[in-house]
């Protein structure tokens, strides 16, 4: 009989199970606890061994076998992953819901894997644990599915930190089975013989329980509530009465790897690939439990990184991705979104894939419908899908202009509209637009992309006002991250450092219920975060406001009109118009917008040499404690030359020429250097656009901004 492909994703349960302290103690006795572990065996101050969880949901385990229609004659419990969200109370009702999340095909002769996932909640309302079970089915391989990803657990090349010897009794399975797994293989000698064994065998999960006790006793003695995760692979069977050794290596703070050996034959690994994670459950962490997030373009790059982290922190995620090419041409594919959903589920999260195109209104509707049909609502929308069609302006044909507008700008409109409707009705929502430095500041060859990206800024400005009353906050992120969109745009050194994960904390903060702002734009990348805004200078009133001024009168006041000194940011149009009328009745004085001196400072230096002359005076000795660096500048072009700047012992020495041992060397053209030093060219932009090359210790070059207040 073949595996039932339709069973994937079908809900199983909910199953409920009442339990009392006696069940927890029965389990503890079944996995070898006794007077030496009285905290698990005596109702006074009783605690529950976390691995009790898997024994308590045995019904779900058998359902994975039944629903997948595996050949029951050839199945074994292959792997078990338990993620603990909250300590297990000593009594109550457990409610478990699950689904089969995947099948893997190891080949006709090698068999198949059925992966099932379930979540268990307690009658006190808390989510207690997630279980991911892999059932190995010897007789179901060769159905043409994909093979399982190879996951290896690294064991340190040294003696274990703890070796725990245990002797499960010859009758142990008879006691353990009373906790739920009453399969005859562990009790009935005849059945065991028919199944090819000399006699009944130990339950793998019973040995697993022994291991759990050993991990608790050595890593978090008396504090089972600190267990966060326990994962392993069952590799060999064991007869009751055979002693075992549990080997434990601490690998880092809060993490250990472990395995169980047959102590009569140290070569024989009974349970392998063990992982144990432990530590306090952070009380104040930002979470998204019971929230539903839609992320467009989440099959790769930034969207994937957002999806994984949101799911890890409790959100139910709609992973949308058309799976198209970088320029949006050709047919889409379901695999990028599908893969991310599998990753999320494998890590214990909840997600559903959607393959619609954001560029059409129907696509947008259907993405939101997927969220409503699967999870019942939408709380978070991240408009992230994107393509590129870069060309210099005269080569920018209408189809390339339109394709980029359709995905970025119209795409955000298409998905946001139906999502906003749901958010407005429920009185809560978080919407993220994704803009770009190309839109905020401009980038050669990207007129289409810059226009679409900055249009999203305007979209946010107005939607934030419409959402304000309903607690729908709309913010925008301008990321900088390595992805297929940037692989040939960024210099290799920047690409290397720009993991999408660096952008995630900013976007996730803006998506959280703790986000206090709406209508803000943030740059985020490589650990740097800052806000970008549209600001307006005080300007000048030309004439009296009654008669129309002529062009010469405006030209005469251009310095004051252009100055950004005392510039301010407006939350909405009305505020700005209000200031226009105030200015007419009381015109800003010349100094308010910056007189000649202010203008001078803003325009900066008139020669490269002047910058280096000014450097000692601009040196911020207070920021130079413990700093020992030499910056070498190589300035090309007219007025350029070589200068070194050595910082040591809180002092700064500038010399012309080349230093023997620079910490890093900055190479830039004279014009760009002057633009950078007078604040017109942000250093990060100079670097990412290739105008500024940095050799040597790139990270140290980031000190320059702190060390000099130019
Ligand atoms: P990416 O190419 O890795 O991811 C974009 C995803 O969007 C792809 O998986 C693609 O299949 C999907 N997509 C494209 N068109 C779609 C459509 N019509 N419907 C549904 N999905 C579609 O790129 P990356 O870098 O992760 O980009 C994410 C967003 O961030 C984009 O909006 C991009 O413009 C923006 N951005 C990225 C920057 C960076 O440094 N990586 C810089 C500034 C902005």
For residue 483 and ligand 1, the question of a CB distance below 6 A is answered with yes
Q: For atom 34 of ligand 1, which residue has the closest CA?
A: 386
Q: For residue 339, how far is its CA from the centre of ligand 1 (angstroms)?
A: 16
Of the candidates 94, 125, 83, the residue with the CA atom closest to the CA atom of residue 23: 94
pLDDT, tens digit (0-9, with 9 covering 90-100), for 64-98:
989 999 887 778 889 999 999 889 999 999 999 99
Closest ligand 1 atom number to CA of residue 482: 41
Write the DSSP assignment of 241-288 as a string of letters.
Answer: T--EEEEEEEEETTEEEEEEEETTEEEEEEEEEEEEEES---SS----
Q: For residue 379, how far is its CA from the centre of ligand 1 (angstroms)?
A: 21
Terminal CA-CA length for the chain: 76
Query: In angstroms, how far is CA 452 from the centroid of its own chain?
Result: 25
Closest ligand 1 atom number to CA of residue 326: 2
Q: For residue 513, how far is its CA from the centre of ligand 1 (angstroms)?
A: 25
For residue 454 and ligand 1, the question of a CB distance below 6 A is answered with no
Query: In angstroms, how far is CA 707 from the centroid of its own chain?
Result: 33
Question: Does pLDDT of 595 surpass 50?
Answer: no
pLDDT band at 710 (very low <50, low <70, confident <90, very high): confident
Q: For residue 430, how far is its CA from the centre of ligand 1 (angstroms)?
A: 19
Beta strands in 142-254 (DSSP E): 162-166, 227-234, 244-252
Residues comprising the chain, all counted: 710
For residue 526 and ligand 1, the question of a CB distance below 6 A is answered with no
Task: Answer for the pair 77, 204: CB distance below 8 angstroms, yes or no.
Answer: yes
Q: CB burial class (10 A; 0-12, 13-18, 19+) of residue 468?
A: middle
* Separation between Cα atoms, residue 176 and residue 561, nearest integer Å: 83
Q: Identify the helix (H) or strand (E) that includes residue 340.
A: helix 335-346
pLDDT band at 283 (very low <50, low <70, confident <90, very high): low
Question: Does pLDDT of 604 surpass 80?
Answer: no
Question: Does pLDDT of 241 surpass 80?
Answer: yes
Angle (deg, nearest 10), helices 335-346 and 301-312 = 30
Substitution candidate for ligand 1 out of 301, 357, 409, 413 with most atoms within 8 A of CB: 301
Q: Which tokens belong to 706?
A: 């702190």
Q: Report the relative pairing of strands 629-636 and 641-648 from DSSP bridges.
A: antiparallel
* Separation between Cα atoms, residue 569 and residue 249, nearest integer Å: 56
* Separation between Cα atoms, residue 66 and residue 10, nearest integer Å: 13
Q: For residue 369, how far is its CA from the centre of ligand 1 (angstroms)?
A: 22
Task: Answer for the pair 255, 275: CB distance below 8 angstroms, yes or no.
Answer: yes
Question: Does pLDDT of 343 surpass 70?
Answer: yes
**215-224, 375-384, 471-480, 657-666, range with the lowest pLDDT:** 657-666
Q: For atom 8 of ligand 1, which residue has the closest CA?
A: 297
pLDDT band at 461 (very low <50, low <70, confident <90, very high): very high
Please give the C-alpha separations between residue 82 and each of 309, 367, 417, 493, in angstroms, as whole numbers. Answer: 19, 31, 39, 39
Q: For residue 151, how far is its CA from the centre of ligand 1 (angstroms)?
A: 28
Of the candidates 356, 374, 352, the residue with the CA atom closest to the CA atom of residue 365: 356
> Which residues pair with residue 694 across a beta bridge?
666
pLDDT, tens digit (0-9, with 9 covering 90-100), for 649-676:
888 899 999 999 999 899 999 888 888 8
Q: For atom 29 of ligand 1, which residue has the closest CA?
A: 384
For residue 448 and ligand 1, the question of a CB distance below 6 A is answered with no
Task: Answer for the pair 82, 274: CB distance below 8 angstroms, yes or no.
Answer: no
Q: For atom 1 of ligand 1, which residue has the closest CA?
A: 301
Question: Does pLDDT of 602 surpass 80?
Answer: no
Burial code (b: 16+ CB inside 10 Å, e: under 16) for 660-684 equals eebbbbbebbbbbbbbbbbeebbbb
Of the candidates 92, 160, 155, the residue with the CA atom closest to the CA atom of residue 123: 92
| pLDDT on residue 596 | 42
Q: Which tokens belong to 517?
A: 């702002």
Task: Answer for the pair 207, 168: CB distance below 8 angstroms, yes or no.
Answer: yes
For residue 328 and ligand 1, the question of a CB distance below 6 A is answered with yes
For residue 80 and ligand 1, the question of a CB distance below 6 A is answered with no
- The one catalytic residue in 176, 428, 449, 522 is 449
* Separation between Cα atoms, residue 244 and residue 266, nearest integer Å: 9
Whether 509 is a known active-site residue: answer no
Q: What is the mean pLDDT of residues 212-237?
A: 96
> Which residues pair with residue 644 across a beta bridge?
632, 655
For residue 321 and ligand 1, the question of a CB distance below 6 A is answered with yes
Q: For residue 301, how far is its CA from the centre of ligand 1 (angstroms)?
A: 7
For 161, phi then psi, to 5°, come to -75, -30
Q: Return the percentage of the chain with pLDDT > 90, whole number.
A: 69
Q: Report the relative pairing of strands 227-234 and 472-479 from DSSP bridges.
A: unpaired
* Separation between Cα atoms, residue 103 and residue 112, nearest integer Å: 7
List the Cα angle 583/588/591 in 5-degree steps.
165
Closest ligand 1 atom number to CA of residue 435: 44
Question: Does pLDDT of 342 surpass 80?
Answer: yes
Question: Does pLDDT of 367 surpass 60?
Answer: yes
Q: Return the percentage of the chain with pLDDT > 70, whole number.
A: 97
Strand ranges of the sheet holding 641-648, from the earlier edge strand across to the other edge? 651-656, 641-648, 629-636, 664-669, 692-696
Strand ranges of the sheet holding 244-252, from the earlier edge strand across to the other edge? 12-19, 92-107, 111-122, 127-137, 75-84, 227-234, 265-278, 255-262, 244-252, 162-166
Q: Which of 30-34, 347-351, 624-628 has the highest mean pLDDT?
A: 30-34
Residue with tokens 């600001």: 535
| pLDDT on residue 601 | 40
Task: Answer for the pair 605, 674: CB distance below 8 angstroms, yes or no.
Answer: yes
pLDDT band at 592 (very low <50, low <70, confident <90, very high): low
Closest ligand 1 atom number to CA of residue 407: 18
For residue 523 and ligand 1, the question of a CB distance below 6 A is answered with no
Residue 492, classed as helix, strand or coil, is helix
**491-505, 509-523, 551-565, 666-680, range with the lowest pLDDT:** 666-680
Task: Answer for the pair 694, 701: CB distance below 8 angstroms, yes or no.
Answer: yes
| pLDDT on residue 593 | 58
Neighbours of 194 (CB within 10 A): 11
Task: Answer for the pair 605, 696: CB distance below 8 angstroms, yes or no.
Answer: no
Q: For residue 145, how far is its CA from the centre of ligand 1 (angstroms)?
A: 29
pLDDT, tens digit (0-9, with 9 covering 90-100), for 249-266:
999 999 999 999 999 988
Question: Does pLDDT of 640 surpass 70?
Answer: yes
Neighbours of 233 (CB within 10 A): 20
Closest ligand 1 atom number to CA of residue 489: 40
Q: For residue 297, how far is its CA from the centre of ligand 1 (angstroms)?
A: 6
For residue 134 and ligand 1, the question of a CB distance below 6 A is answered with no
For residue 132 and ligand 1, the question of a CB distance below 6 A is answered with no
Instruction: Give the chain's mean pLDDT.
Output: 91
Task: Answer for the pair 114, 5: CB distance below 8 angstroms, yes or no.
Answer: no
Q: What is the mean pLDDT of residues 611-624?
A: 86
| pLDDT on residue 591 | 65
Closest ligand 1 atom number to CA of residue 385: 7
Q: For residue 359, how far is its CA from the centre of ligand 1 (angstroms)?
A: 13
Q: For residue 462, how far is its CA from the centre of ligand 1 (angstroms)?
A: 24
For residue 385 and ligand 1, the question of a CB distance below 6 A is answered with yes
CA quadruple 289, 294, 298, 299: dihedral, nearest 10: 90
Burial code (b: 16+ CB inside 10 Å, e: under 16) for 86-125 equals ebbbbbbebbbebbbbbbbbbeeeebbbbbbbbbbbbeee
Of the candidates 362, 459, 370, the residue with the CA atom closest to the CA atom of residue 408: 459
For residue 78 and ligand 1, the question of a CB distance below 6 A is answered with no
Residue 687, classed as helix, strand or coil, is helix
For residue 296 and ligand 1, the question of a CB distance below 6 A is answered with yes
pLDDT band at 599 (very low <50, low <70, confident <90, very high): very low
Task: Answer for the pair 526, 497: CB distance below 8 angstroms, yes or no.
Answer: yes
Task: Answer for the pair 70, 135: CB distance below 8 angstroms, yes or no.
Answer: yes
For residue 320 and ligand 1, the question of a CB distance below 6 A is answered with yes
Q: Report the relative pairing of strands 472-479 and 429-434 from DSSP bridges.
A: parallel
For 651, phi then psi, to 5°, come to -120, 160
Q: For atom 32 of ligand 1, which residue has the closest CA?
A: 386
Please give the C-alpha separations between residue 487 and each of 278, 306, 404, 501, 687, in angstroms, as whole numbers. Answer: 38, 19, 18, 16, 15
Q: What is the mean pLDDT of residues 113-117?
A: 93
Cα dihedral across residues 442, 473, 316, 413: positive or negative: negative
pTM: 0.62
* Separation between Cα atoms, residue 40 and residue 492, nearest integer Å: 56
Q: What is the mean pLDDT of residues 175-200?
A: 93
For residue 300 and ligand 1, the question of a CB distance below 6 A is answered with yes
pLDDT, tens digit (0-9, with 9 covering 90-100), for 128-150:
999 999 999 988 888 888 888 77
* Separation between Cα atoms, residue 656 and residue 652, nearest integer Å: 13
Q: What is the mean pLDDT of residues 191-200?
A: 92
- Check residues 361 and 617 and name the one with the higher pLDDT: 361
* Separation between Cα atoms, residue 237 and residue 328, nearest integer Å: 52
Closest ligand 1 atom number to CA of residue 406: 18
Closest ligand 1 atom number to CA of residue 305: 26
Closest ligand 1 atom number to CA of residue 324: 11
For residue 207 and ligand 1, the question of a CB distance below 6 A is answered with no
Task: Answer for the pair 117, 132: CB distance below 8 angstroms, yes or no.
Answer: yes
């Amino acid at each position: 009989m073949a595996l039932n492909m339709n069973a994937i994703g079908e809900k199983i349960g909910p199953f409920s199970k009442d339990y009392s302290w006696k069940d927890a103690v029965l389990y503890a006795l079944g996995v070898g606890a006794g007077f030496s572990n009285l905290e698990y065996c005596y109702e006074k101050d009783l605690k529950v061994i976390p691995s009790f969880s898997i024994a308590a949901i045995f019904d779900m385990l058998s359902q994975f076998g039944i629903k997948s229609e595996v050949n029951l004659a050839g199945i074994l419990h292959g792997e078990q992953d338990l993620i603990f969200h909250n300590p297990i109370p000593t009594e109550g009702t457990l409610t478990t819901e699950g689904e089969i999340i995947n099948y893997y095909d190891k080949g006709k002769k090698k068999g198949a894997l059925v992966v099932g996932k379930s979540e268990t909640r307690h009658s006190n309302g808390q989510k207690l644990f997630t279980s991911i079970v892999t059932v190995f089915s010897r007789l179901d391989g060769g159905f043409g599915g994909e093979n399982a990803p190879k996951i290896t657990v690294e064991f340190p090349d040294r003696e274990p930190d703890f070796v725990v010897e245990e002797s499960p009794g010859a009758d142990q399975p008879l006691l353990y089975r009373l906790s739920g797994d009453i399969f005859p293989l562990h009790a009935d000698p005849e059945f065991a013989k028919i199944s090819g064994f000399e006699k009944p065998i130990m339950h793998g999960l019973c040995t697993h329980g022994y291991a759990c006790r050993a991990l608790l006793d050595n890593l978090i003695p008396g504090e089972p509530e600190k267990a966060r995760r326990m994962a392993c692979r069952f590799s060999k069977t064991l007869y009751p009465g055979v002693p075992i050794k549990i080997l434990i290596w601490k690998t880092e703070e809060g993490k250990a790897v472990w395995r169980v050996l047959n102590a009569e034959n140290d070569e024989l690994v009974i349970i392998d690939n063990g992982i144990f994670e432990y530590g306090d459950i952070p009380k104040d962490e930002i979470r998204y439990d019971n929230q539903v997030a839609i992320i467009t373009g989440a099959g790769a790059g930034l969207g994937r990184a957002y999806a994984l982290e949101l799911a890890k922190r409790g959100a139910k995620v709609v992973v949308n991705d058309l799976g198209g090419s970088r320029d949006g041409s050709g047919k889409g594919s379901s695999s990028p979104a599908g893969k991310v959903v599998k990753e999320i589920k494998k890590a214990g999260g909840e997600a559903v894939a959607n393959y619609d195109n954001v560029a059409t209104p129907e696509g947008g509707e259907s993405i939101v419908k997927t969220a409503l049909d699967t999870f019942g609502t939408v709380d978070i929308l991240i408009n992230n899908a994107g393509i590129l069609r870069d060309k210099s302006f005269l080569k920018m044909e209408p189809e390339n202009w339109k394709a980029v507008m359709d995905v970025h700008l119209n795409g955000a409109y298409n998905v946001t509209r139906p999502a906003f409707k749901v958010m407005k009705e429920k009185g809560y929502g978080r919407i993220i637009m994704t803009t770009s430095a190309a839109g905020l500041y401009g980038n050669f060859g990207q007129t289409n992309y810059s226009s679409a990206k900055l249009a999203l800024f305007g979209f946010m400005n107005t939607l934030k006002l419409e959402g304000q009353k309903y607690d729908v906050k709309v913010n925008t992120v301008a990321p900088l991250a390595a992805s297929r969109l940037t692989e040939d745009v960024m210099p290799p050194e920047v690409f290397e450092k720009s993991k999408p994960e660096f952008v995630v904390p900013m976007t996730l903060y803006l998506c959280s219920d703790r986000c206090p702002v709406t209508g803000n734009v943030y740059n985020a990348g490589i650990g740097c975060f800052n806000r970008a805004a549209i600001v307006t200078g005080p300007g000048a009133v030309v004439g009296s406001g009654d008669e129309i001024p002529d062009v010469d009168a405006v030209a005469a006041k251009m310095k004051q009109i252009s100055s950004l000194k005392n510039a301010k940011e407006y939350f909405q149009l009305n505020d700005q118009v209000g200031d226009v009328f105030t200015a007419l009745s009381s015109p800003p004085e010349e100094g308010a917008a910056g007189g000649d001196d202010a203008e001078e400072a803003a325009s900066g230096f008139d020669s490269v040499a002047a910058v280096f002359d000014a450097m000692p005076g601009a040196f911020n000795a207070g920021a130079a404690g413990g700093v020992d660096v030499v910056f070498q500048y190589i300035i090309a072009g007219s007025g350029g030359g070589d200068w070194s700047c050595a910082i040591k012992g809180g002092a700064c020495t500038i010399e012309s020429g080349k230093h023997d041992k620079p910490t890093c060397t900055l190479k830039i053209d004279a014009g760009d250097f002057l633009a950078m030093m007078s604040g017109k060219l942000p250093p990060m932009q100079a670097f990412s656009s290739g105008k500024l090359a940095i050799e040597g210790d790139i990270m140290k070059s980031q000190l320059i901004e702190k060390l000099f207040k130019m």
